[in-house]
Structure 1
Amino acid sequence: MPEFFNVLPPDEARELLFQHLTAVLPSKTVPTPEANGRVLATAVTAPHALPQFRRSTMDGYAVRAANTFGASESLPAFLQVVGEVPMGQPAKVTLGTGQAAIVHTGGMIPETADAVVQIEQTQTVSGVQLSVSGNYAYPFEIEVLKSVAVGQNVLQVGEDVPLGAEILPQGHILRPQDLGGLLALGIVSIDVVRRPRVGILATGDEVIAPKETAAPGQIRDINSYTVAGLVEQAGGVPILGGIIPDEFATLETAAANLLAETDMLVMSAGSSVSVRDMTVQVIDRLGSPGVLLHGVATRPGKPTIVGVVEGKPVLGLPGNPVSAMVQFDMFGVPAIYHLQGVKKMPRRGLVWAQLSQNIASETGREDYVPARLADGPEGLLATPVFGKSNLIYTLVNADGLIKVPLNKGGLLAGDWVEVRLF
């Protein structure tokens, strides 16, 4: 093949990829408790208000706020307790002027009450008497030691969610708290986007399965499994297609078959510019539009191939494990979210740390340097883990990646840098 590099900065390269990915995968209905991490296929609206009734936020006494105005420890308000609202039952007590009712946290308050006095801000005038059955003997008197305002310590109807409000938008990635919010509204099943199936091929005559004993000149397949882990974290389903030798017809057949049964294809190795590189020709022969670019202005992973075949993303990753993992995180993970119709990419775990030593770089490319984090005298301290891109333990021994911006010629010891956590 003729040697070529059509290098773009990462942001431009991702935008080019997304321009060719228009389809969103079909939806399916799943039980809400099983939907953690899934992407909503349609927006969800509240079928009723939440709360559905006025609820107390404290253990105490439901009152008419006006009956407590001016109350203090030196001049308390005297109220007559005429009943109790049992938990899980309607509030049947009716309050008149100067009256109160016992309520519990989360319980309903009577229609004739408009506030709740915290129990710690009251005291009984005399010992509370119990009836033969063990219940309070009503009425009894309390002193209110602090006034309350209308609505104080009370959740109003619809204060959490009004009836008909959009509670979660289409394309939202469901989190544990979202599941709780849906179930609180009685939404026990939900429409989510089908998980993208991502086919993964390893290539190279020297690559063997991890369970095999490596002979001189052979290496175990790492990339299939690091990429598969990233696929799962992004909500996809990895489909391992095995190890393909450096033979054009075999690679083309394997790639075509795997792409036909998946939503995305990833091939590792074979992306370096050399006479043995077949990945570009294979992608172009799989369908239109084929290769979009060969080369990204980053280190590691400059020779990454980005393509699309009939609306499906196809990536050719460098064989070096660090390069492959960084580049898949940069292009493969966003593509998986895009296929699910995610409107807002999840925030990466980012921390600021003080750099312990200089990092050299070149303007015109983004560098990603593995780093260890430790507590320093002024905050977190980031120590670069330098190593070549074929050394997987530079990542194993790191907590995240320091990003050197596109047009910055290196970073200096003492600089505060942003670290993308793994």
Structure 2
Amino acid sequence: MASLGASGWLPALAADAARNPSRKRSCIVLWMNGGPSTIDLFDLKPGHKNGGPLKEIATNVPGLRVSELLPKVARLADHLAVIRSMSTKEGDHGRAAFIMRTGNLPLGAIQFPGFGALVAKELDDPAADLPGYVRICPPLRERAFGLGTGAGFLGPRYTPLAIGESDRADVSAADLLRVPNLERAAGVNGAEYAERLDLLAEVDRVFATDRAGELPGAHRGAAERAERLMRPDAARAFQLDDEPAAARDRYGRTPFGQGCLLARRLVERGVPFVEVGLDGWDTHNQNFDALHRLTPALDSGWSSLLLDLKDRGLLATTTVVWAGEFGRTPSINTGNGRDHYPKAWSTVIAGGGVKGGLAAGRTSADGTEVEERAVSVPDFLATICRALGIDPLKQNLSNVGRPIRIVDKSARAVEEVLA
């Protein structure tokens, strides 16, 4: 295998896989819950009092510089499109996360679906055993309140499968990401299992005969999806032990690192939307200490994900997004922290449909204002849609009978980052 790889066989296979017209696109979102300090990561202000103690380093793209805390990601900057001119209006965590996930302000009557559900509806294979939308290590607050991560008016069919919801510190990353109940109950053989499925189907049929509405069908659909997820080939996607130890080490044995590895395994098997969460970015106090704690996992997991996707011929069809709900203040507070700041901040898009090796937009020398190409949430989501080959203006019928577009028609995609 080593000699074949050196001879160019592996890159040729990867390129062939990327050109395969039957392969659908996928999206992986690396969600930085709490609002990452992007001024310390992708839009540093060296020499200004707002810059703080962190230094810039060169990347593999001349002129594009990032934080010293991301040396591995810096070596892959030719795949990155950094958007340095995000400008939004909401500084509350919950509302900002909802807007970033749905592109809409919360409205009581309308059950807006999350962007992951919208993408899954467009790209999912109805016959697939794996779900179309998977969330890995969802932050605690979002588990309790949703914050635009559910299926909304699209219905239960596109509700995400959540993995790694435990907050126990004594649980290993491997155990945290293990999906429970994927195996038949002990002592139940294949014939008995099939009989139980037949019985469940009959009970559901009888239940649905005199009950109107969508609930009976949704219940039956959920049971069928669960049964398909238990099939050996589908269940094997979640078995990280199948990966070589060296690969798992490269991603990092953290929940986020192993979550990135799991995300690669899922999109490799056709899952169209996967989110991997990394919590802890609400750095009002001791911002720089927190960044030193958080970025090793981020750097290893993100860089390994991009390399792995590239080597397997999947990067051309997988759009990788890095974002939180807002950025943090350019000014440093008395607690050596940075506070909420939606006015000027950064996001990053890489991979499929993206022109890498560039930074779009510009903020002022002190980081307080966007000086070039302000990007709203709808603009950002429309850009991702375009990268995925989805029409952002496509409409879905809402729960109040009103057609609603995937992204508001006022959105302007950031054309300069699109391949």
TM-score w.r.t. length of structure 2: 0.24
Higher relative contact order (Cα pairs below 8 Å, separated by 6+ residues): 2
Higher radius of gyration, 1 or 2:
1
**More strand as a share of residues:** 1
**More helix as a share of residues:** 2
TM-score w.r.t. length of structure 1: 0.24
